[in-house]
Every structure is written in C-alpha cells, then in structure tokens.
Chain A
C-alpha cells in the first residue's frame, strides 16, 4: 500500500477510539478551570502532555489541593504503562530514523497503540506501516485538541457536566479493545488477575495499583502460556504413532 493509503487507513481505523475519547476530552476541558488552570494552560496541557487519564488525574489532584511533586509522581506511575507499549512497538519502528521515532513516541496513547499494534500484526510486508501509525496518531491528537477546546469554550454552559459520568466512555472503549483479545486461557487469566489485583491495590498511593496489576497479569499470562505450550508438545509426542 502507498504512504497515503496507509495514512488514511490509520486515520480511518482510529475513528471508533475517537468517538470514545470525545466525551473524555470535553469533560477535561470543562473541569480544568475548577483546578485553577487558565484556558491557555488547559489547551497547553492537551497539546504538550497528550495523555488523557493522567491529565484527568492531574486536575483532580490539583482541585484537591495536591502539590506539584504528587502530581508529577502520579503522572509518572500512571503513564508507566506506556513504557510497555513502547517496548511492544519498538521492534516495528527500530528501523526508522529519529525524526520518525520521536513524534510517533510522543503520540503513543492507549488508543493509538491498540490500533497500530493490530496493523503491525497483519502479515503483509508493507514498508509504509509507520504512515498508518502516523495517520492514526495524528487523527487522535487533533481530536483531543478539538475536544479540549470545546470543553473550555462550552463546558460551563451545560449544568453539572462533571456529574454526568462521561468518563464511562473510556471504560467502554477499553472494554471494546480487550474483550476480543480474550481468545485463549492465558489471556483470560491475565485479565482476571490484573482486574483482581487492581481492585485489591486501589488504595495504594500514586495509583501504584495500576502497574502492580498490569505486571501481575502479564506474569500469569506468560506462566500459563509456557505451561500450555508444554502440554501441547507433550500431547503431540504421545499422539505420534509408535511413540
């Protein structure tokens, strides 16, 4: 596929994620003023940080009177999951020059990761898959800026927008990404363990429970996958005629 086609397909395939992010962006733009951010600072945060959940947590912490150190530490822990995304996609972008790798890393959100990972997993050997990444990431980025702006400009016009529960859109998006991935036992076990640990560790400071849960889920997935494979190999041996 040509560069343009890849770019357009990337932007097209991320549209469902964009639909899920719209309410979240608007509510961020609306609530940031309550945390003491000016309109420019709110837009600046979306332009420069571009990480929905940590932006949301930051303004929640600031509204509660938290200091800068707490906000920065929480940002670090909450976004640590992106290091896992970075590791997952690294084999596919390692051949690219820095001028590609840097912006693609800047745009590496949960949503872009989910869409792009799918494209890289496809068997065709298109040399322009990074254009797909570029298209998906840029569409997500522009939408996030637009939604923040809408929230800043019009959010106050809707009474009690904060209590509507627009944050549910993010949960629905993540459910839509995860459920189709639960195709085998190790994946299901990874999900169950991650969910249980996340619940048990919800009280930990700086949202540390998120990373603890993710790492436990991953560990269980790997252990089961190894055991499962061993079973398959043994089954294979015992089924062979004459063995």
Chain B
C-alpha cells in the first residue's frame, strides 16, 4: 500500500462547538494507483488531502505512507514522499518569484543539490522550456502556471502526488492538456495519486477507484465504471451524479428542494 489511512479524524473546536471536518476516514491506495475523492465544498475532501500531506498537525488516526507510519511531526524525508498541487495556480505561486526561484526552493530546503539540472529537467518534464525559466507567474498563462505548480511538486521526486482540484480553475482545452500531463507522469514515474475534485467526469477520467464524501465522512467507495453506469447506492452520490449530467428539465430538483430533501 502506498497510502493507508485508518480512522483519520480532523476536528476543530471542542465540546458542543466541536466540528469534525473529517470523521473516521479509512482508505487505502495501492502503489501506482490513482484514487479520487469527490464531494461538495465542506465535505472534507481537501481536509483529507491535507492530512495526508502532513499539513494538519492535530489530525487523529493513522497515516501510513509507503509502509512508513507518519508521526505528529514529519521528517524532511517523509515530507519529500508526498507532494501537493493546489487548485488555483494564480494563488499558489509566489508572485514576486521567478519560475527558477520557485523551483529551486524545494531543492535547497531538501539539500538535493544540482539545482540547475533539476530545474531544467522538471520544466521539460511538464512541457515547458528554458524560455519560461526566468519568468514571473504573471507572465504565464493559467495552464503554464499549473504546469509550474506540478513541476514544483515533482522536483522532489515524490512517490505520491496529492492533487486538490488541479484543473477546476482552467479552461476546458487547458484542462485536457493538464489531465494528459498527469496521466503521462503517473505512467512514466509510477506515481500514486490522490485527487480531489467536484467534477465526476474529471475524476473518472484519471482515477480507477473513487470515494464520495459528504459531511466529513466517506459515504461510498465506488469505481469509475460503476459511476459511469449510474450504479451507485448512496442517495448523495446519486444526486452528485445527476448534477454532473447537466441541467435536468423535468423540474425534479424543485420538488426535492420544496420537500426539504436537499437544502
């Protein structure tokens, strides 16, 4: 197992004000597998991702990455294992740092050395060239920025890539390019991917197995094929599936709304 989560709970506040952003999340992802997490905002999917990345120090439960149990505080080597790509490439890159600075930083922190070669190799890996190396983020398109964010994650040669809505800020044509890039990287490097999205089609394109989250809990674990066939049992998953198919002119949504079945 590349990723193993056992009873992971992330809560904020205490007593009556306690709120569980993620509750008893258990899942396992095999080496080289791409696993998807779907659900709407506030369902806890990003929280799970951040707990895997080690960004939530107070997460309860067990996180095991590549057979190694993660402690409360991760070592540098453990941090290197799982790297994350965020949703918005406009927000995740430092506006005052060139691509070269952005990509050199992780190399310096992890004392890998050979920065020059690593940076140019990482750029090439994501389909960019030396002409992009000394640009600032505002001089790049949204798709190019997301490629930089992916390069930054890859430059540490992680085994696990965590993707938080990596294409939702991008246009359809650019989304296709990034999805193709991710498929290729997974194939060539045998990367394990854990991806979060609200777009079922995007998730099903990249991932084989998919967990549906609602209110902090995994309500159903299914496969891309079952999802495509509409073969899902949880009512929330069914609703998510309906919404993803576009507008339903039957007016069924309004009946649900009036009956109070959905808020």
Whether A associates with B in a native complex is: no
- A interface residues, Cβ below 8 angstroms from B: none
